[in-house]
Each structure stands twice: as C-alpha cells, then as structure tokens.
Amino acid sequence: MLNIRIEKTTAPKAKPTDESQLGFGKIFSDHMALIDWSADEGWHDARIVPFANFSIHPASTCLHYGSEIFEGLKAYRTADGSIQLFRPEENARRMINSSERLCLPQLPEEDFIQIIKELVKLDADWVPHSDGTSLYIRPFLLGNDETLGVHAVHHALFAVICGPVGSYYKEGINPVGIMIEDTDVRAVRGGTGYAKCGGNYAASNRAGEKAEQKGYSQVLWLDGVERKYIEEVGAMNVMFKIAGEVVTPALTGSILPGVTRKSCIELLKSKGYKVSERLLSLDELAAALENGTLEEAWGCGTAAVVSPIGRLAYKDKVFVINEGKIGEVTQMLYDTLTGIQWGKIADPFGWTQKVD
C-alpha cells in the first residue's frame, strides 16, 4: 500500500458545461498524481497535488534520450452514478513490461491501481455524464537524471493526469479509410514495438501525416523486417474477418499488446467465434480482398473501442470492405464492450472495478 499525501487545490477550475464539445486530451482535471523514484530510495513521496506545470532540468534524460513510457485507460460513469475502471490491472502489467524494456523502474501493479483510484475519487466530479463520454487517464513514467551522460536511469518520475473526453462517435460509427504504409516502419522485432513508449509514436508521425495528406485517417503498418506481414493500424491493433474466421496479427514483439485487443479475443472466443492470432501477410489479405472472403476489418483500442475499416489503399489500388459499412462482428464488439464499460450490461468476465 502506498502512503499517498493529498494536497487539494484551493482554486478549482470551472468544469466544461457543454459535454458535446469535449474532444480528446485538451481539458485536464484539478489534480495529478506523482511518485518519485531513485535508485537509492526506490519509490517514494507518492502524492496527489494540484494540476500544474512541471519544473524539469534541461538536461533531464527523457528530454534527450526518449526514456519515457505511458499508459491510457478510462473511468466510466455508470447509470447509478458510480464510477468504474476497465481492466486497470492490464495497464499496470503492461507498464511494468514497458519499464523493463526501457530500463525504467517498475511500479508494482497494486500501487498503480491504488493511486489511479485515489486520483479519480478526488476528481470524481470531472467524470462526465453524457452518453459515450469518459474520464481519460494518462499515466506516464519518465527518466529524469540531470545529466547528459548516457547510462541507466537513476531517477524517475511516475505521473498520472486525467481529463474528460468526448464520445469518439458523436456522428455515429463511420468506417475509415486506411493506407498501407510500405516505406516507414513503426517498430522492429527486438525493438520497442511491444512497449508503450513515446518513441514509437515519434517514429510513426511521418507516415501518419502522409496518409492524412492523401485523405486517409490512419496507416496500416507492415512488419519492419520483411515489410510483408500486417502489424497494426495507426495506434490501434487490427483484426480481420476472413471467410468466417477472425484473424489478428500474433504478438511477435513489434506489436503493442492492446487491452482492447485482448478483450475482443476473449469476448469472441466466449461467443464461439473462431479466432486466430497468427502472421497475416499482405498477400493473403490482398487475395481475400480480391476473392471476396474479407468480410470485415477493424482497428481496436481504448480511445475508439473499435474503428471499422471501410477502405484500404495499397499503392494505386483502393479496396472497399463490406461495402464501406460497419460489419456485424465489429458492431457486436462495440456494443458489448461499451455496454460492459459503462455498466449497461452485465460484466461476466469481471473486467470492471469500481473506484470506491
């Protein structure tokens, strides 16, 4: 158990009045959680304090050498007014794995969950009420040694900020257009692809921008070694329904193990669908597109839950999937997962946790 010092704000901010205009990641609550770590003292000084700018040494490791990882999860308000989290232990465990990869200190799972629950309880009034809205929680961990020397991290800071976010699908679920990226790669086996680190995002920006300029909303990443196998779509995992079977790329080390991905797989299996986690080549996908056996395609991640793919562009060819409409399985996953998250349907898997 962490001993958390709480310093409440004396100047609470005005909460947004129009929940239809929340957007994503623009508004932050009144408080933030912090825990320091040093090689000498371990984790210490856990605290929840008023949300404010950091003061950071200009030579701080994270600013120069990318020693930074993060997580993303949501708190949902249920019909009875209570607040719940969705599988926070999965985020805690993934952050431990990301820490291990980047040689950052590992925050115990129970401490991660405890301080997030404390923060959400304190800022409970910031959890919005409207349909589809939630409190987005962003834990992150950075190395902050005050030296330009390149060496293992001896000082680190774990922080959690949060804020209300709008419904991802204000105008209904519209399938998106995706461009297959065959030049840039996001990650390679042996690299940091399975870690949720800022560096992976920095490496993704150029292709993302290129896709946007061409009128596509995300890129479909191919593996970094052979540029042959499908990996992820934008910052989401990806799934396809091919000839009745749901196929998603296996976790080969360059793919981020999404909590939504895992939940979709478990849900599909519980409903009797055939699901396989395996290598899926671009050739196989193209053949399925051409012979009509590709029935559905969707991305999955915490922000959108699922995002149906309606168009897929490769070089000069554009394929349309399921007539550009959301498919039956994609819709079922969306309805079931959001139903459990917002407490509208039963949670037979024990995925949700109340914050108090």
Ligand X SMILES: *Cc1c(COP(=O)(O)O)cnc(C)c1O
* Integer Cα distance of 212 and 15 in angstroms: 32
Nearer to ligand X, 22 or 238 (CB): 238
Nearer to ligand X, 16 or 258 (CB): 258
Burial class (CB in 10 A: 0-12, 13-18, 19+), 52: exposed
* Integer Cα distance of 172 and 185 in angstroms: 31
* Integer Cα distance of 76 and 127 in angstroms: 7
- Residue 262 beta carbon to ligand X: minimum distance, rounded to whole angstroms: 8
Nearer to ligand X, 144 or 237 (CB): 237
Is residue 258 near ligand X by the rule CB under 6 A?
Answer: yes
Residues 225, 188: contact at Cβ < 8 Å? yes
Is residue 232 near ligand X by the rule CB under 6 A?
Answer: yes
Give the total residue count for the chain.
Answer: 356
Listed ranges 29-37, 208-216, 254-262, 308-316: which one lies at the site for ligand X (CB under 6 A): 254-262
- Residue 60 beta carbon to ligand X: minimum distance, rounded to whole angstroms: 23
* Integer Cα distance of 215 and 235 in angstroms: 17
∠ CA 71-127-85, nearest 5°, is 45
Nearer to ligand X, 72 or 199 (CB): 72
Select from 72, 198, 253, 324 the one that contacts ligand X (CB under 6 A).
72
Q: Which two tokens stand for residue 66?
A: 């990318």
Is residue 196 near ligand X by the rule CB under 6 A?
Answer: yes
Listed ranges 55-63, 136-144, 228-236, 345-353: which one lies at the site for ligand X (CB under 6 A): 228-236
Q: Shortest CA distance to 268 belongs to which of 310, 327, 311? A: 327
Could you tell me how far CA 180 lies from the centroid of its own chain? Answer: 21
Is residue 259 near ligand X by the rule CB under 6 A?
Answer: yes
Is residue 116 near ligand X by the rule CB under 6 A?
Answer: no
- Residue 335 beta carbon to ligand X: minimum distance, rounded to whole angstroms: 17
Listed ranges 158-166, 233-241, 268-276, 281-289: which one lies at the site for ligand X (CB under 6 A): 233-241
- Residue 236 beta carbon to ligand X: minimum distance, rounded to whole angstroms: 5
Is residue 173 near ligand X by the rule CB under 6 A?
Answer: no
Is residue 60 near ligand X by the rule CB under 6 A?
Answer: no
Is residue 74 near ligand X by the rule CB under 6 A?
Answer: no
Listed ranges 45-53, 57-65, 256-264, 341-349: which one lies at the site for ligand X (CB under 6 A): 256-264
* Segment (H or E) for 6: strand 5-6
Residue environment code for 179-209, b if the CB has 16+ CB neighbours within 10 A, otherwise e: bbbbebbbbeeebbbbbbbbbbeebbeebbe
Nearer to ligand X, 62 or 236 (CB): 236
- Residue 237 beta carbon to ligand X: minimum distance, rounded to whole angstroms: 5
Is residue 301 near ligand X by the rule CB under 6 A?
Answer: yes
Residues 180, 280: contact at Cβ < 8 Å? no
- Residue 302 beta carbon to ligand X: minimum distance, rounded to whole angstroms: 3
Residue environment code for 254-289, b if the CB has 16+ CB neighbours within 10 A, otherwise e: bbbbbbbbbbbbebbeeeebebebeebebebbbebb
Burial class (CB in 10 A: 0-12, 13-18, 19+), 82: middle
Listed ranges 18-26, 209-217, 229-237, 336-344: which one lies at the site for ligand X (CB under 6 A): 229-237
Is residue 260 near ligand X by the rule CB under 6 A?
Answer: yes
Listed ranges 95-103, 258-266, 315-323, 336-344: which one lies at the site for ligand X (CB under 6 A): 258-266
Using CA atoms, how far residue 265 sits from 181, 269, 276, 347, 351, in Å, is 25, 6, 9, 16, 14
Size of the site for ligand X (CB under 6 A): 13
Q: Which residues bind ligand X (CB under 6 A)?
A: 72, 196, 232, 235-237, 256, 258-261, 301-302
